[in-house]
Every structure is written in structure tokens, then in C-alpha cells.
Chain A
């Protein structure tokens, strides 16, 4: 996205906000601008507190609840922090058995389309994936691909909405509007705890601006005395009443991964 369009977008949001505030007969523009500034500074602080982990790996278990039926997916996720750009990640599938050995490589970019590859072990073939398809369901779950991507400040415009308590914790409530026109969401509203800047709850609004899903992140654990990671994430879809739980276990940091572990070749031999 060019600087001009970013600027136009920021001005537009500020304008919209100021109009709505003006209607409420409040001191207009300064408050609106401070809300966007405050939103952005919260997002920046969140990211800043999560810098320096270098690399990590974790085991992920996904449980899909679909009415009476329950289905499990297991995978391993390797991530690498990249300076001045989005993170690199590799997901290796362990179950269901028919997708065992399938692996997914993703380079998140802050200012360009993500690069994505999928390895199909039956054909021993690596396929490039059109990255516009990020709003689709991940493995039949209530998580979209974009919900699992690394968080990058530049991918959203922000607005601080209010301060509020959630389960006894003081939180900022901020709104994030995706800059990517191919995102499945019009906005996300997140509850961020004021002490550690951890997301505790996120509401996802679809393109028609109605509440689609709610993600609850809990059982946070502290790693290397610095990085908070949720052990449990639960996504509820309000449209179809289904929900998916994600458990992240066995987090390992600074495992010695480097860029050579995130290539097409390493994708082919990932097991």
C-alpha cells in the first residue's frame, strides 16, 4: 500500500470518527485523532513487547465441534522472526492420517501479499498458493487462514474505543480495520490487558459488519521471562453455532532455526 493511500485512509477514518463525534456534540477532531493514535500506540506496544523471540516451535491440537461430531487435527508449527518484515512459519500436519506429511510454508509481509506454498507428499509436489485466499476456513475449522497468521502492525488501521474490565482484568478495547481488501473481515474488536498487552478476546465482524465470530484466548504462560503465549484459544462462530478449540503445547524458543529451515527444500523434507 502506498503512503498516499494510507494517508487518505487515515484521514478518512479520522474524518468519519470526527463526524460521528461532532454529532454527539463533543469536542470533535482532537479526540478522534487521539483515539486513532492511542489505538496505534497500543498495537505498536503489543508488537514491541513480542519482539526478540527469534524463533519458536509448538505443537498444536485443534478440536472441531460441529454439533454432535467432534474432529481432531494435530500439527507442529515452526516460526522465525524476520527483522523489518513479517514472520516466516511452517506448519507440518500430523493428523488426520490422510494429510500426514502435508506441510504449509508462509512468508508474511508487512507491505505486500504473503507468499505461500503447500507440499503434497503423495505427489512429492510443492504448489504455490494464491495468497488472496486468506478468508477461507483452515482445515474445515472455524479459524480462517488469516486468523493464524502472525500479527503485523502495518496490516491494520486502529482506533481505541474504551477501557473496560474483562474477567476482572483492566483492558483496552481497540478496533482494527484490515488494510487488505481480501480480508474476510470489516473489523476486529480486541480486548487487550493493560498490564501485559495480551489479547484476551477478539470479536470478528464480517464484510456486512455483523458479528461473525468470537475468539477467547486463555491460559497464558510466560516464556523466557518475556513472551506470553495462550495455551488455549476458542473460536465460536455465531452464524453456524460451531466452535473450534486450539491448544498450543510444548513451546520451545531459540531452537536454532534459521532461514534455511524455511525454504521449498525444507518444506519437502518436513515430517
Chain B
């Protein structure tokens, strides 16, 4: 009996291994959501609406084979918006094949990549175009076609990117809120590169983790993800159109962890290439996150965030971050429903009337739904402030998401 037992064991193992390597594991997941949003203040432009209902569908599918070393990944996104035709949009966030070796990864296709450590803005993160139609926080991204090779070594990870197709930014339509005034027209964009959106961009990154330190150095050359704006005449009226210059951007991101403290830094330097009309610039965000753990008998956690942002460009050309202080927090109730409340306020230190604030709360209903409430507030009085065109677009939103 015993010898038989020992004889069959390796056979069983080999059979199992063969089964594993041949087997394909596929999964379908994602979420659908319904949101309703109200803008309590009268719009700055008469054609802009004051409430909207929208539906979002975000299915995902992946398949792994070759013991998980090969995979194909798809993540699609569609939103229907009752107010704004331009905000009704679809995107392929991911559509890529990946092969993983013992110390390398190769991905070919459309993907989304995140770089950085700070919370209030993401300076270093440059691979993907931001999907501002989705959210004002800049954390939603459009899928980027790429060839991405990563080499994972003892001394860090080297990422090499070839980015063959540029994704221009999408802007809200005439009826939509949270847009420039006059409106920025989609599909009227122009490029510094004679190849337009076919210019091939390149990026390199080295990142490493050493004990309590995380460090990243990055370099990008190609079409700027952030456009400049030019006035054009459209149907006899003044409108804006995006212009994308060629740039080279170097970035550094660092994080140091010490007990409950997380110290964060992101900095970039950008220079125009060739006959660029974009001025050279530098920008940085630095700050900390501190977590008070178990603040009451229910074991709530409260994380406090403070980040200062500097941008060398003058106010009129940049977002809300030329000399700004962001303070905020994250309250986690650590309950069964994973209830979380995020809040923050970004204050312009040169202009006491320029600020934006956010509160976002979410909780799980049952096992498959999440209820989300969001409040954005914008305030601005100076016409040269980039927040000025959205000063009347403060909103409240209530959403329900079903995950499958």
C-alpha cells in the first residue's frame, strides 16, 4: 500500500501541472451605475442645463493561460448623459495582451498606467489622457495604445513605453456644465507635430523601493497631454479649440514612510520642443498624510492630508495649482459596509476668493451595491482665474452602483 502511494504521487503532480498549464482561466466582471446630479446655481451661460441623469456601464473581461503568464484583458466604458451629448461617451480603457517572464513584463495594446504618490493632483502621471468628462478630480483616464516593457531587477523597475497614437482630451458640450466659457470644441484640435495625433511618443521610468523609501524618476517625450487653448470662430461665434504642443517632461516622485506618517513629493520640469509655443515650466506638489488609527470605540480611522502645490506658470494658464494649499481627510468607519468619507479643500494662496472643495461619501448596500454621494463646490471672482468659468457649477450628486 505504502509503496504504491509513493509511486503515484509524482504522477499525480505531473498531471496536475499539465492541467494547470493547459487550463485557461477567464472571468467577466464590472459594474453598472445610475447617477443624478443637480447644479443649484444659475448657469454662467444660458444654454447650460441645471440637472442631469446619467447611466454608466463598465464591463471587464480577462482570460489567463500558460499558467497565468499570458493574459488578455478588456475593460470597456460607456456613459449616457441626459444633459450633455458630449458627456455621453464610450472608451476602451484596456484592451491588451500581456506576457510575464521571471523578471520582465511585456504588454501590447490599450492600457491605463498610473505614476505618482500625491493625492490633490497628479503631476508626474503622464502616460494617459485625463477623462475630465468623468470627474473633475482628474483620476479617470482614457485608454492609451502602447507597447510597454518592464524589467524588474534588484535595483528597481525599468519601464519603457512606446506610445503610437495620441488621445486628445474630450470637452463638455454647450448644454453641459463644468466647461470653459466660451465652450471648447471637440474635433477641432490642432497639433505642433506635422503627424498630428500619429506622432510616436516615448517614455521611460525607473522606480524602486528601499525600506521606508519609494522613489521614481521618469522621462517623457512627445505630444503634451495638457493642451493650450486657441480662440476660433465656429458658426459665427467665438469658441476655443485645443492645441497640443510637443514637449519633453522629466519627473520625480518620492515617498517616505515613518510610523503613521507618509511624506510625499512630486515634481516635474517641462520644456517645449522645436518651435513650441508652450513655455518651459516647473511644478511640484509636496505634503504628508497622517493617520489617526482607532479614534473611537468603533475603530474608525482618520487620515489627514496636507499638500502644497507650486507651478511656475502664471495663474491664467494653469489649473488651480499655481500656489495652492490642499487640506483634507479620509474617514474610514471600518464597518461591514466599508463606509468612507473623503473631504478636502483647495485654497489659492494668492487669491482668497479662489477655492474648490469636495466631499465624497460611500457605503455598501448588501453585498453587491454601493451608494455614493458627492458634493463639489467652486468659488472664484477673478476673470483670469481658471476656476472662473466653472464658478457657478458647484453640484451635488447621488449615485448607485451595482457590481457583478
How far, in whole Å, are A271 and B261 apart by their CA atoms in the complex? 30
The reply to whether B368 and A97 contact each other, CB–CB distance below 8 Å, is: yes
Give the residue of B102, B301, B336 whose beta carbon is less than 8 angstroms from that of A69.
B336
Count, chain B residues at interface, CB 8 A: 45
Query: How many A-B contacts are there with CB distance less than 8 Å?
Result: 91
Give the residue of B31, B150, B257, B293 whose beta carbon is less than 8 angstroms from that of A135.
B293
Instruction: Specify which chain B residues have a CB less than 8 angstroms from the CB of A4 in the assembled complex.
Output: none
The reply to whether B31 and A98 contact each other, CB–CB distance below 8 Å, is: yes
How far, in whole Å, are A269 and B68 apart by their CA atoms in the complex? 10
Instruction: Specify which chain B residues have a CB less than 8 angstroms from the CB of A52 in the assembled complex.
Output: none
How far, in whole Å, are A124 and B75 apart by their CA atoms in the complex? 12
A266 to chain B, nearest CB (A): 8
The reply to whether B368 and A128 contact each other, CB–CB distance below 8 Å, is: no
Instruction: Specify which chain B residues have a CB less than 8 angstroms from the CB of A72 in the assembled complex.
Output: 367
Give the residue of A96, A123, A269 whose beta carbon is less than 8 angstroms from that of B367.
A96
How far, in whole Å, are A100 and B404 apart by their CA atoms in the complex? 9
Instruction: Specify which chain B residues have a CB less than 8 angstroms from the CB of A128 in the assembled complex.
Output: 214, 255, 257, 262
Interface bits A116-151 vs B (CB < 8 Å: 1, else 0)? 000000011100101111011101100000000000
B89 to chain A, nearest CB (A): 18
The reply to whether A124 and B262 contact each other, CB–CB distance below 8 Å, is: no
The reply to whether A264 and B367 contact each other, CB–CB distance below 8 Å, is: no
How far, in whole Å, are A115 and B336 apart by their CA atoms in the complex? 25
How far, in whole Å, are A271 and B103 apart by their CA atoms in the complex? 19
How far, in whole Å, are A131 and B255 apart by their CA atoms in the complex? 14
The reply to whether B259 and A132 contact each other, CB–CB distance below 8 Å, is: yes
How far, in whole Å, are A66 and B401 apart by their CA atoms in the complex? 24
The reply to whether B157 and A265 contact each other, CB–CB distance below 8 Å, is: yes
User: A99: nearest residue on chain B (CB-CB)?
Assistant: B338
Asked whether A140 and B29 contact (CB < 8 A) given A95-B367, A97-B404, the answer is: no
Interface residues of A in 40-95 (CB under 8 A from B): 64, 66, 69, 71-72, 95
A260 interfacial contact with B, CB 8 Å: yes
A263 interfacial contact with B, CB 8 Å: yes
Interface residues of A in 136-168 (CB under 8 A from B): 136-137, 139-140
The reply to whether A130 and B62 contact each other, CB–CB distance below 8 Å, is: no
How far, in whole Å, are A229 and B211 apart by their CA atoms in the complex? 32
The reply to whether A260 and B368 contact each other, CB–CB distance below 8 Å, is: no
The reply to whether B157 and A264 contact each other, CB–CB distance below 8 Å, is: yes
Interface residues of A (CB under 8 A from B): 64, 66, 69, 71-72, 95-101, 113, 115, 123-125, 128, 130-133, 135-137, 139-140, 184, 260, 263-265, 269, 271
Query: What would be 26 A-B contacts, judged by CB atoms less than 8 Å apart?
Result: A66-B336, A71-B336, A72-B367, A96-B367, A97-B29, A97-B31, A97-B367, A97-B368, A113-B259, A115-B209, A123-B114, A128-B257, A130-B259, A130-B261, A132-B293, A133-B260, A136-B294, A136-B334, A140-B335, A265-B105, A265-B150, A265-B152, A265-B157, A269-B71, A269-B98, A271-B64
